[in-house]
Structure 1
């Protein structure tokens, strides 16, 4: 962004242009005195700009102390700009001193003795080539200053930077074209040369202001502007019981009521009003729950910012609850799921043990797997730890039972009759648990004896050690007709508990 020129600065620039034009016509005492006035005004302006720059550098120093990691890189650039600008400013001050000395010095009032002397400037700047050296140094300083400008602003700063070394269009007009030093310093009185050098000093200080202020703005370019404050309270627990300690972290939070972020909670967007999103849902189920999602917000630099968030809470019963997820019974040989919650305690603070004859494995906060080895009863004891103190809060007895016997089937039929066509397409015997609280529990067929009593034929019998029908009976199976009988005896099966159990005989009448 270009530095706005105040009216005083505009007046100085205008006066300098008018006086320079008048030099081509006549060099009178009035014109020389006018240059002296302009030069003094430029010097005053330089002091004002220097004071402004000093305040900016002090702001940089204060912010560096508060946040060195963030401000440090920009402060370093600002310091480099100051060093480069001061060096060039002092170089010009030395040239002005040379012109004063070469023109005869100052009088008792501190003014130039020979303001209208016209040879000194041309001698120093053109004959001795100091003007060419000055142009090269000013171009180098301009390049250094612009290296501190972000790429997206470089074109604008290149156009508006006060330190501009390009020649005006009129310098290239006419038969005799002038180069930069000749255009500025050929045959000008010494007061005009000094005023011009003061103007370059003014351009340097104003350019320094533009660059340093932009660097200071870059420090906070990505900062959000917050216009609202609100108190927030975070409790150590969402549920408490009498005698427990409540702890709260209380803080002030800032947000912007003019910025509407996009907030996604558990995969769905929520309404946002005055910069605050509100989420509500009816909770269900016991144990730990999570609210998570993403906040999307366009930053001051135009880039989209995504900030994930996650917060957990606990859903508990009105009192301590120890519940077998299937029913109030543990089965030998199975993994019996167990859920434990206690009002006033987060799930992660709860621990459970089981008496001899069983074991508990914690799968997640509030969830366990119970395994038992013998029938009877076991007791589950629950403790809770809070503020470094562990205490017993509940216990409950559970019955321990063996799994019920499975039902023997051929195909989907459990007898006592079955069509011949349906029987013939089956390949073996099955042992299924029916209407059991656990899904997917399987029993393996260990052994059985299969007998076929067909009309007009001798009874045949074979023993199998797998679910499949004995291969030697395949012909008899294919020959089954209505009125024949198939018997399954000496049946043994093995369940998930590893126990081999015998089942009663089953008869199928073929019809």
Structure 2
């Protein structure tokens, strides 16, 4: 797991380990405040991944309503993945709350839609290094988190290993890497010490937010694999199956690019699909003039990319074509998004 301290504190980590001059104290304050910005960047990114995962879970429910017998094994696996991921996310959220409560930073804990959430701008002593160390190191929550991440990674990899290939396993291993490492002088640094010991409260909260995002991204990789493995028996109808669209976000800020992935939850079609933006002739199922063919990955995923769309409401539609037993099948889709 990429260590944020290596990014944010490469030039100034020593400031936190010795007495500071006034100039160094100002620099320390600026670096700690920067974590508010970084964390605020992680939160929307995590929400986008949550949204993508929710779309896939909704698709499982939709397909389950159509064919319970066929979909149940894959839906059940998806629900187990969700349960494990939620448990890990909630543990990290509890760590954040515990740190803030112990540090008497209750004002930073606010309620949103009935749930507790965190507003880091309301944290008073952002450079508090004692409390995070107490909670994550002395109370061994860092060690517990390390084991939970390791177990979750092992669970996901065992589910897909040998089924989808090394690429997804490599991605999950990278996202959920909790290996200890040796320092430049040969000294040992545990994962939990490297991420939580004697770092400012703001840094620790931000690191936990990043790990939460990594967990959701790993969850997303496996959910896509599970959905793509919904297969058809010889007697199973294609009616009811829908193209799945996972947008980067339903609302963008001006200047951001729009991205989306489009695919069918039918594994044996993934190697033999064409995905288009535009319309098709209903009589022939051929693309209409102007329809744009998308590049499709080996997993049957089409990538939609719209560079910096203008302010306002946008919509696009398209379709997926596949040859099934010598017959052409078409599944259409549409997406709406807003640029502010």
TM-score, length-scaled by structure 2: 0.59
Higher strand fraction (1 or 2):
1
Contact 2:269 2:322 (C-alpha < 8 Å) held by counterparts = no
Gaps of 5+ in 2: 17-27, 109-118, 231-265, 275-280, 285-320, 328-340
Q: How far off its partner does 1:104 sit?
A: 2.3
From the superposition, tell whether residues 188 and 100 of structure 1 become closer, same or farther in structure 2 (CA, over 3 Å).
same
From the superposition, tell whether residues 62 and 149 of structure 1 become closer, same or farther in structure 2 (CA, over 3 Å).
same
Corresponding residue for residue 133 of structure 1 = 144
Deviations 1:164-216 (A, max 9, x none): 224375x4432421112112112101111111111110111111111101111
From the superposition, tell whether residues 194 and 149 of structure 1 become closer, same or farther in structure 2 (CA, over 3 Å).
same
Q: How far off its partner does 1:221 sit?
A: 1.1
1:66-465 alignment to 2 at 5 Å?
66-107=66-107, 111-153=122-164, 155-161=166-172, 162-167=174-179, 171-219=182-230, 220-223=266-269, 256=323
Match of 1:20 among 9, 26, 34: 9
Q: How far off its partner does 1:61 sit?
A: 0.9
Aligned partner of residue 147 in structure 2, secondary structure = helix
Aligned partner of residue 60 in structure 1, secondary structure = helix
What is the number of residues matched between the two proteins? 225
Bigger radius of gyration among the two? 1
Contact 1:121 1:193 (C-alpha < 8 Å) held by counterparts = yes
CA distance in 2 between partners of 1:206 and 1:103 (Å): 30
Deviations 1:391-449 (A, max 9, x none): xxxxxxxxxxxxxxxxxxxxxxxxxxxxxxxxxxxxxxxxxxxxxxxxxxxxxxxxxxx
Contact 1:19 1:31 (C-alpha < 8 Å) held by counterparts = yes
Q: How far off its partner does 1:39 sit?
A: 0.9
From the superposition, tell whether residues 132 and 104 of structure 1 become closer, same or farther in structure 2 (CA, over 3 Å).
same
Query: What is the Cα-based RMSD across aligned positions, in Å?
Result: 3.1
CA distance in 1 between partners of 2:229 and 2:87 (Å): 25
CA distance in 1 between partners of 2:187 and 2:269 (Å): 55
Deviations 1:66-97 (A, max 9, x none): 22222211111111111110111011000000
From the superposition, tell whether residues 221 and 23 of structure 1 become closer, same or farther in structure 2 (CA, over 3 Å).
same
CA distance in 1 between partners of 2:273 and 2:92 (Å): 46
Q: How far off its partner does 1:229 sit?
A: 9.6
Q: How far off its partner does 1:223 sit?
A: 4.2
Q: Which moved more, 1:44-53 or 1:89-98?
A: 44-53
Deviations 1:106-152 (A, max 9, x none): 44886111110111122222222111111111111111222321514
Corresponding residue for residue 312 of structure 1 = none
From the superposition, tell whether residues 55 and 83 of structure 1 become closer, same or farther in structure 2 (CA, over 3 Å).
same
From the superposition, tell whether residues 193 and 23 of structure 1 become closer, same or farther in structure 2 (CA, over 3 Å).
farther
CA distance in 1 between partners of 2:162 and 2:229 (Å): 13
